[in-house]
């Protein structure tokens, strides 16, 4: 570590006109000749819709380090040492069928809470506070954004979406309270301003960005003054961080130019959302990476899609609707098409995880100091049940999670036991969640 007499507060910001930018973690934030760098703890959740065909996700056998990878997991095989595959978990409370129908809604809404939502399409929606929001109570106390909720699909459907259940249950994976679902943002432009804007409403920030001026241009005076005070190592970290911000900003601007030249339906594609799904996904993941690197937030939840998603994926050879092929009826073609979708979506997450691994922070990387759960609210989509749930953990959690393993628990072990254990690994203590019965002590 480069020793310098300069000591920066972790909450130091770069300021410009209408802009406040957080800094990445720098060696200068540790007092000269002081203790080892202590990076913040981070937690994240990534939700994928319509379940997964269990044999193509869960490795065979009883667990261990020498498991044979499966067709879906091949997408993240290069990061095996930083991941843990978990099998045998179920979310039994949302299996209740006394209300009839609404299986997608129940599985989605209860993924992070283990609670069956109230069947209503009115304003009296009721579910439960989710695990990410318990984390936000603690980890979000010192960040400008308590938590960050993102989505790759429409986030404003209203009314009855399934069997008398409100669309609110599908729009939101995160709930701050039993009657308070959190909106998930899909527009990279809005997310960018939320991360780097300085107060004001979202509409005001968007209006400001219409000016021909870069976020970075407005803070360069602060950047140049700070760089003169940093050591060589910190200057490199700062340069990489600012380059990433500039690159994301330019991609958003290109997307807006494309949308102007080829107008898209307003309700289907808000301004700033790339027409290309792959680019949209990578932009949101890159913004999430910046949010963690700049310590703008330490808790996140990203929806790859809503349950019942009918998105098609022709660029990977799947012209059929996602929801349609998920009802595979054991047809080999449908299973193969569903597996292509799930492997592709996991590959997007793998690229994000690799970027966290490649980002130096203190005595390790962003990935070393983070913990993520990637998974779905149902197992076999043809059965529509929250059994044999696909669960993949990524990150080191400050040395609290050892990677390179497949953990196979007895069938119907509560998913909430995993969430309680994850919370504890980032020093968030919650007595119980849903039907939790205790911690997964060997995790």
Bridge partner list, 301: 45, 149
84 beta partners: 393, 405
Give the C-alpha separation, 67 to 58, whole Å.
10
User: Considering the entire predicted model, what is its pTM?
Assistant: 0.80
Query: How far is it, in rounded angstroms, from Cα 432 to Cα 416?
Result: 8
Strands 63-64 and 312-313: unpaired
Residue 378, judged by CB atoms within 10 A of its CB (0-12, 13-18, 19+), counts as: buried
pLDDT(31) > 60: no
pLDDT band, residue 25 (cuts 50/70/90): low
| Residue 321, Cβ density class (10 Å: 0-12 exposed, 13-18 middle, ≥19 buried) | middle
DSSP element (H, E) containing 268 = none
Residue 322: its pLDDT value, please? 97
**Does residue 11 have a pLDDT over 60?**
no
Number of helical H runs and strand E runs in the chain? 11, 18
- State pLDDT tens for residues 143-164: 888 999 999 997 667 888 999 9
On the 0-12 / 13-18 / 19+ scale of CB atoms within 10 A, 400 is: middle
Report how far residue 111's alpha carbon sits from residue 419's, in angstroms, rounded to the nearest whole number: 10
d(Cα 143, Cα 271) in Å, to the nearest integer? 28
Q: Could you give the domains of the chain? A: 1-38+191-272 (no CATH), 41-186+297-443 (3.40.720)
pLDDT band at 364 (very low <50, low <70, confident <90, very high): very high
pLDDT score of 198 more than 50: no
Q: What is the 3-state secondary structure (H, E, C) of 155-178?
A: CCCCCEEECCEECHHHHCCCEEEC
Q: Count Cβ atoms within 10 A of the Cβ of residue 165 and give its class: 0-12 exposed, 13-18 middle, 19 or more buried.
A: buried
Q: Are strands 360-361 and 364-365 parallel, antiparallel or unpaired?
A: antiparallel
Which has more pLDDT, 230 or 46?
Answer: 46
- For residue 313, what are the β-bridge partners? 318
> How many percent of the chain have pLDDT more than 90?
63
- Read off the pLDDT of each residue in 289-304 and give the average, rounded to a whole number: 93
**Summary mean pLDDT of the chain:** 84
Cα separation, 169 vs 185, whole angstroms:
15
Exposed e or buried b for every residue in 207-223, given b needs 16+ CB within 10 A? ebbeeeebbbebbeebb
**pLDDT tens string 113-126:** 999 999 999 889 99
The yes-or-no verdict on residue 266 having pLDDT over 80 is no
Instruction: For residue 98, count CB atoms less than 10 angstroms from its CB and return exposed for 0-12, middle for 13-18, buried for 19 or more.
Output: exposed
Neighbours of 100 (CB within 10 A): 9
């Amino acid at each position: 570590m480069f020793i310098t007499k300069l000591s920066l507060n972790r909450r130091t910001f770069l300021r410009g006109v209408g802009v406040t930018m957080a800094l990445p973690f720098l060696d200068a934030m540790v007092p000269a000749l002081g203790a080892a760098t202590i990076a913040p703890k981070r937690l994240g959740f990534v939700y994928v819709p319509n379940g997964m065909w269990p044999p193509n996700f869960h490795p065979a056998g009883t667990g261990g380090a020498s498991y044979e990878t499966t067709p879906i997991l091949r997408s993240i095989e290069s990061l095996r040492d930083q991941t843990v595959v978990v099998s045998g978990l179920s979310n039994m409370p949302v299996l209740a069928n006394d209300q009839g129908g609404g299986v997608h809604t129940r599985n989605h809404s209860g993924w992070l809470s283990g609670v069956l939502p109230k069947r209503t399409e009115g304003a009296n929606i009721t579910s439960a506070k989710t695990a990410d929001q318990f984390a936000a109570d603690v980890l979000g106390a010192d960040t400008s954004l308590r938590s960050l909720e993102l989505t790759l699909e429409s986030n404003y459907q209203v009314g009855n979406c399934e069997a008398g259940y409100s669309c609110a249950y599908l729009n939101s994976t995160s709930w701050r309270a039993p009657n308070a679902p959190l909106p998930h943002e899909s527009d990279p432009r809005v997310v960018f301003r939320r991360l780097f804007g300085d107060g004001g409403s979202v509409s005001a920030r968007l209006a400001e960005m219409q000016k021909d001026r870069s976020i970075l241009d407005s803070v360069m005076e602060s950047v140049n003054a700070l760089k003169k005070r940093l050591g060589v190592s910190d200057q490199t970290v700062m340069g990489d961080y600012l380059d990433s911000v500039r690159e994301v900003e330019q991609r958003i601007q290109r997307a807006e130019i494309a949308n102007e030249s080829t107008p898209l339906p307003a309700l289907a594609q808000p301004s700033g959302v790339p027409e290309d799904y792959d680019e949209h996904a990578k932009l949101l993941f890159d913004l999430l990476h910046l949010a963690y690197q700049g310590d703008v937030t330490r808790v996140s939840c990203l929806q790859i899609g809503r349950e019942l998603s009918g998105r098609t994926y022709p660029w990977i050879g799947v012209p059929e609707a996602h929801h349609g092929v998920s009802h595979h009826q054991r047809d080999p073609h449908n299973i193969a098409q569903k597996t292509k979708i799930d492997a592709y979506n996991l590959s997007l997450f793998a690229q994000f995880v690799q970027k966290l691994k490649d980002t130096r922070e203190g005595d390790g990387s962003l990935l070393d100091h983070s913990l993520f759960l990637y998974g779905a609210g149902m197992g076999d989509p043809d059965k529509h049940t929250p059994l044999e749930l696909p669960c993949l953990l990524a990150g080191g959690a400050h040395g609290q999670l050892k990677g390179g393993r497949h953990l196979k628990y007895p069938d119907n072990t509560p998913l909430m036991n995993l969430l309680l254990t994850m919370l504890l690994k980032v020093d968030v203590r919650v007595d119980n969640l849903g039907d939790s019965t205790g911690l997964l002590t060997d995790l």
